[in-house]
């Protein structure tokens, strides 16, 4: 679904991504792990055109999207759940969800999807009239995921969905990711929490200072001595 070839991105003056290549096959969960500052977020931001790629190509469904506009990508089913949730705290929960469907024209379907998201996250239904800013971090993360689902994604890019959440809620979130994937949504996941991420991933890439240093099946990476030492704390 997504194919990145020899991508270079500069972030401010820093050479943040130094020629990475990766592939996300349809229907799979692929994770990108690595320490803070390795360039994981920048990679996702470059896919969504929140950062401008300097060199290299990004393709989506076999089409070159290296310079495509963000809004067009969203319309075509490429959706990012940003780091730190970034829900609209000044809007109600329901307004946030409806905005998720902003690019869609099929209003009947949107309504159905809204009910579906409420089924998936009953907590959001309880709080639909509440301002998003009044909810807890975990609830906001659910809202961020629900909002992204309202865009009808084919590929969901997720930037640190477990950030700042209690272990029990992290488990919830990852169960939901798996559930979404089982419905046919391809997922590219970024995590510092390498263990949880690799456990649910079909394939994984390890990033260090702007380069991909290791890749392999999720299970294999979990067993890898270097990964264990550097990221799994074993």
Verify binding: residue 84, another protein, rule CB under 8 A: yes
How far apart CA 121 and CA 172 sit, in angstroms, is 11
Q: Which stretch binds another protein (CB under 8 A): 13-21, 100-108, 178-186, 197-205?
A: 100-108
Closest contact distance (angstroms) between CB of 206 and another protein is: 26
User: Which parts of the chain are beta strand (E)?
Assistant: 2-11, 14-24, 29-34, 53-60, 63-64, 78-81, 155-159, 186-191, 203-208, 211-217
Verify binding: residue 182, another protein, rule CB under 8 A: no
Verify binding: residue 185, another protein, rule CB under 8 A: no
Selected binder of another protein within 3, 5, 61, 99 (CB under 8 A): 99
Structural contact between residues 153 and 184, judged by C-beta atoms closer than 8 angstroms: no
DSSP state letter for 228: I
Closest to another protein by CB, 140 or 181: 140
Selected binder of another protein within 1, 24, 147, 193 (CB under 8 A): 147
Give the phi and the psi of residue 130 in degrees, each rounded to 5: -85, 150
Among all chains, which residue has been given the structure tokens 């820093």? Answer: 14
Binders of another protein in range 51-70 (CB under 8 A): 70
How far apart CA 129 and CA 180 sit, in angstroms, is 25
DSSP state letter for 132: G
CA-CA-CA-CA torsion sign (78, 82, 85, 87):
negative
Closest contact distance (angstroms) between CB of 132 and another protein is: 10
Q: Which stretch binds another protein (CB under 8 A): 1-9, 91-99, 190-198, 206-214?
A: 91-99
Residues that bind another protein (rule: CB under 8 A) add up to a total of: 30
How far apart CA 200 and CA 87 sit, in angstroms, is 25
Q: Which stretch binds another protein (CB under 8 A): 17-25, 129-137, 165-173, 196-204?
A: 129-137
Sheet-wide strand order for 53-60: 14-24, 2-11, 53-60, 63-64
Closest contact distance (angstroms) between CB of 223 and another protein is: 35
DSSP H or E run through 58:
strand 53-60
Verify binding: residue 100, another protein, rule CB under 8 A: yes
The residues of the shown chain that bind another protein, judged by CB under 8 A, are 48, 50, 70-71, 74-75, 79-80, 82, 84, 86-91, 95, 98-100, 102-103, 133, 135-137, 140, 147, 151, 164
């Amino acid at each position: 679904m997504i194919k990145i070839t020899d991508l270079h991105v500069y972030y401010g003056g820093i050479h943040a991504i130094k020629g990475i290549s990766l592939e996300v096959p349809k229907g799979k969960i692929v994770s990108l792990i690595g320490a803070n500052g390795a360039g994981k977020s920048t990679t996702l931001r470059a896919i969504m055109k929140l950062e401008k790629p300097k060199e290299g190509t990004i393709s989506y469904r076999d089409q070159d999207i290296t310079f495509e506009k963000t809004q067009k990508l969203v319309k075509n089913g490429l959706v990012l759940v940003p780091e730190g949730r970034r829900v609209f705290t000044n809007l109600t929960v329901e307004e946030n969800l409806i905005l998720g469907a902003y690019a869609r024209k099929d209003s009947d379907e949107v309504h159905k999807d809204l009910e579906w998201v409420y089924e998936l996250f009953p907590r959001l239904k309880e709080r639909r009239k509440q301002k998003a800013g009044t909810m807890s971090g975990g609830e906001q993360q659910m809202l961020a995921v629900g909002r992204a689902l309202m865009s009808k994604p084919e590929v969901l890019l997720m930037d640190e969905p477990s950030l700042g959440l209690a272990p029990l809620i992290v488990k919830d979130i990852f169960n939901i990711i798996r559930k979404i994937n089982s419905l046919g949504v391809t997922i590219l996941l970024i995590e510092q929490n390498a263990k949880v991420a690799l456990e649910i991933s079909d394939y994984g890439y390890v990033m260090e200072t702007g380069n991909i240093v290791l890749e392999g099946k999720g299970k294999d990476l979990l067993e890898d001595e270097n990964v264990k030492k550097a990221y799994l704390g074993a």
